[in-house]
Amino acid sequence: MDYITIDTKRVPIEGENNILSLIRKAGIDLPTFCYHSELSIYGACRMCVVEDDRGRIFASCSEQPRPGMVIYTNTKKIQSYRRLIIELLLSSHCRDCTTCQKNGKCSLQELAYRVGVHAVRFLNNKKKIPLDMSSPSIVRDPNKCILCGDCVRTCDEIQGIGAIDFAFRGSDTQVMPAFNRALSETNCVGCGQCAVVCPTAAISVRTNVTEVWDAITDPAIRVVAQIAPAVRVAIGESFHVARGENSFGKLVAALRVMGFDEIYDTSFAADLTVMEESKELAERLEKSEKLPLFTSCCPGWVKYCENHYPEFTDNISTCRSPQGMFSPLIKDYFKEKDINENKKTIVVSIMPCTAKKGEILRPDNFTDGKQDTDYVITTQEVIRMIKQVGIQFEQLEEEAADMPFAVASGGGTIFGATGGVTEAVLRKLAKDKSYQNLKEISYIGVRGEETVKETTVTLGDREVKIAVVHGLAETGRLLERIKAGEVSYDFVEVMACRRGCIMGGGQPPFAGDRTKKGRMDGLYKADVMSNIRYPDENPVLNHMYQTNIKGKEHKLFHRNIVK
């Protein structure tokens, strides 16, 4: 085996194509701003520079390993260059850390501390640039941008959207939409993936924490929370809980302490979605029309389809997303009670997703012309609220959600990962509800990180061709192939975010490979632990179908699509 030597340690080369990966493998967390294993190599921050035994200095992210190389990551020169690079970055950066969204979670701040910048010898003479608050999902603060380009490459390479790019050049360079337009006027879908990779507060999640506190502290308001599946396996990361561990019970307890009145599990609504969507699939298969059926639970995808592939919008399921079904159901549920108690119910959904903040504002998601979900707060925001109160999250006793919406099948829970929706729909459609069949479905090829997964199942006398795709750039490529007639499907699950909602724009950022895997494993573990596995075996839901929602399915659970 070939080796290179890193700081006297011999490290085997096992297919890595850059030295930085080898350095990380050697257990050294070399500081970087612009390297992401899933993005193209950009080489702009120069933080990853190293020195070789001949005194040559180069960026390790963009250098191929050659057997026998001898590399030092921490020489005197390297130390001083890194310090100067950070000092230079800070010198034209708005350094209001104490009031900054990213305070305490900011790479720039952390690295400034780590490399030991003690003073900035240059004056910040940059003009202050106004913030872009036009998007319901994210906020752009160009004053905090260090031009690492991570957001630009994410939006372009992973999401295939290119809503933002560099403009101008040299020290005038900025990241912005075309003509510095407001983000809301671009084709941005609000997925928040740019915010996930942004090392600073230059792109951050648009927060609604203040509004939620206002509602909670208002006695005339009944504040109902619904907690999405993906939140439970990510929130613990910020509170010393093992990665991927299901913290649903602790979160429920925390929300109670915070003053939420009712706390429900969005997985219940996911079961509901499965019921509605499989009905729709069966109908379309029957009539052989508007196929493939595309899932509709991801608002990032829905908007992408509308912007880039309007010809496919009719193929999208008319179902609302689980959040979108749940809120009108909750409001319907409390309708009379509200009148009796002279209260107003508002729904706050706790989501991994920034695009959901936009979804609730879409008129096709309104019921009787009214917005159903009042606020979406992301996992990141709820973490902040917990910290604000000072709750010792990790020490909380687990609590159960409130009835009647506390019961959900494992099928609803796995919605948070790519392939989850499909698997849940397949469970619903399966005639054989045995444990054995459950296992078989799980091996059918819809789980895992591969960007396009394909499978075929037999339903009745028909072969149903299924594709599961995540990441919008990959989705675009798949749609092109469908358009070109190279492939054809009956059912396509699309998630805008790579790996699905567990990696949504509102989840805690900077998740490494192990965290990503942990979150995914966590959801499947939660599925295994649940008493009900088949969505159509949810007793509460089945009861409701017979009682309070009977006849209201269309009004409450489907989008009102105006032609």
Partner 1 sequence: MLEQAYYNKADEIIAQHGRTQKALIPVIQDIQANYRYLPAELLSYVAKQLGINEAKAYSVATFYENFSFEAKGKYVIRVCDGTACHVRKSSLILDRLYKELGLSKEKHTTDDMMFTLETVSCLGACGLAPVLTVNDEVYPAMTPEKVSELMKELRGEKA
Partner 2 sequence: MRLETRENLKSARASAINKIKKENCRILICAGTGCLAGGSDKIYKKLKEMAKGVEGVTLEFGEEAAHVGVHESGCHGFCEMGPLVRIEPWNYLYIKVKEEDCEEIFNTTIVKGKPVERLMYHQDEMIYKEQENIPFYAKQTRLVLKNCGQINAEDIEEYIAAGGYEALEKALFEMSPNDIVNEITKANLRGRGGGGFQTGYKWKQVASQPEKIRYVVCNGDEGDPGAFMDRSVMEGDPHKMLEGMAIAAYAVGAQEGYIYVRAEYPLAIKRLKIAIEQAEQRGLLGDNILGSGFNFRIHINRGAGAFVCGEGSALTASIEGERGMPRTKPPRTVEQGLFAKPTVLNNVETYANVSMIITNGAKWYQGIGTESSPGTKAFAITGSVNNTGLIEVPMGTTLREIVYDIGGGVKNGAEFKAVQIGGPSGGCLVSNNLDVKLDFDSLKKLGAMIGSGGLVVMDEDTCMVEVARFFMNFTQNESCGKCVPCREGTKRMLEILERIVSGNGTLEDLDLLEELGEAITATALCGLGKSAALPVLSTLKNFREEYVEHVVDKRCKTGTCQAMIKYKINPEACKGCSKCARNCPVNAISGKVKEPFIINGDKCIKCGACIENCSFGAIYTEN
Report the interface residues with partner 1, using CB under 8 A. Answer: 156, 161-169, 176-179, 186
Pairing of strands 344-351, 462-470: unpaired
Three-point CA angle 388, 198, 246, nearest 5°: 50
Helix 248-258 vs helix 379-389: crossing angle, to nearest 10? 50
Is residue 527 a contact partner of residue 414, using CB atoms and an 8 Å limit? yes
What residues between 5 and 44 interact with ligand FES by CB under 6 A?
A: 32-35, 43-44
Q: How far apart are CA 60 and CA 15, in angstroms?
A: 15
Rounded to an integer, what is the distance from CA 58 to the centroid of its chain? 34
Beta strands in 317-406 (DSSP E): 344-351, 375-378
- Contact of residue 331 among partner 2, ligand SF4, ligand FES, none (CB under 5-8 Å per partner type): none
The minimum distance between CB 2 and partner 2, in angstroms, equals: 17
The minimum distance between CB 176 and partner 1, in angstroms, equals: 8
Neighbours of 456 (CB within 10 A): 12
Closest alpha carbon to 558 in 533, 549, 464, 420? 549
Is residue 187 a contact partner of residue 307, using CB atoms and an 8 Å limit? yes
Contacts for 145 with CB less than 8 Å, ≥ 6 apart: 174, 175, 200, 202
Q: How far apart are CA 40 and CA 354, in angstroms?
A: 24
Which two three-digit tokens encode residue 45?
A: 């921050």
The single residue among 5, 62, 184, 307 that binds partner 2, judged by CB under 8 A, is: 62
Nearer to ligand FES, 61 or 496 (CB): 61
Asked if residue 65 binds ligand FES (CB under 6 A), the reply is: no
Asked if residue 85 binds partner 2 (CB under 8 A), the reply is: yes
User: x/- binding map, residues 22-51, to partner 2, per CB under 8 A?
Assistant: -------------------xxxxxx--x--
The minimum distance between CB 276 and partner 2, in angstroms, equals: 46
Which two three-digit tokens encode residue 99?
A: 């009031």
Q: Segment contacting partner 2 (CB under 8 A): 57-65, 267-275, 395-403, 509-517?
A: 57-65
The minimum distance between CB 159 and ligand FES, in angstroms, equals: 21
Side chain identity at 474, as an amino acid letter? E
User: x/- binding map, residues 44-63, to ligand FES, per CB under 6 A?
Assistant: xxxxx----------x-x--
Residues of the shown chain interacting with ligand FES in the complex, contacts defined by CB under 6 A: 32-35, 43-48, 59, 61
Residues of the shown chain interacting with ligand SF4 in the complex, contacts defined by CB under 6 A: 93, 95-98, 100, 102-103, 106, 108-109, 137-138, 144-151, 154-155, 159, 161, 163-164, 175, 188-194, 197-203, 298, 300, 352-353, 355-356, 495-497, 500-501, 504
Residues of the shown chain interacting with partner 2 in the complex, contacts defined by CB under 8 A: 41-46, 49, 57, 59, 61-64, 77, 80-81, 84-85, 88-89, 91-92, 121-122, 146-147, 149, 166, 168-173
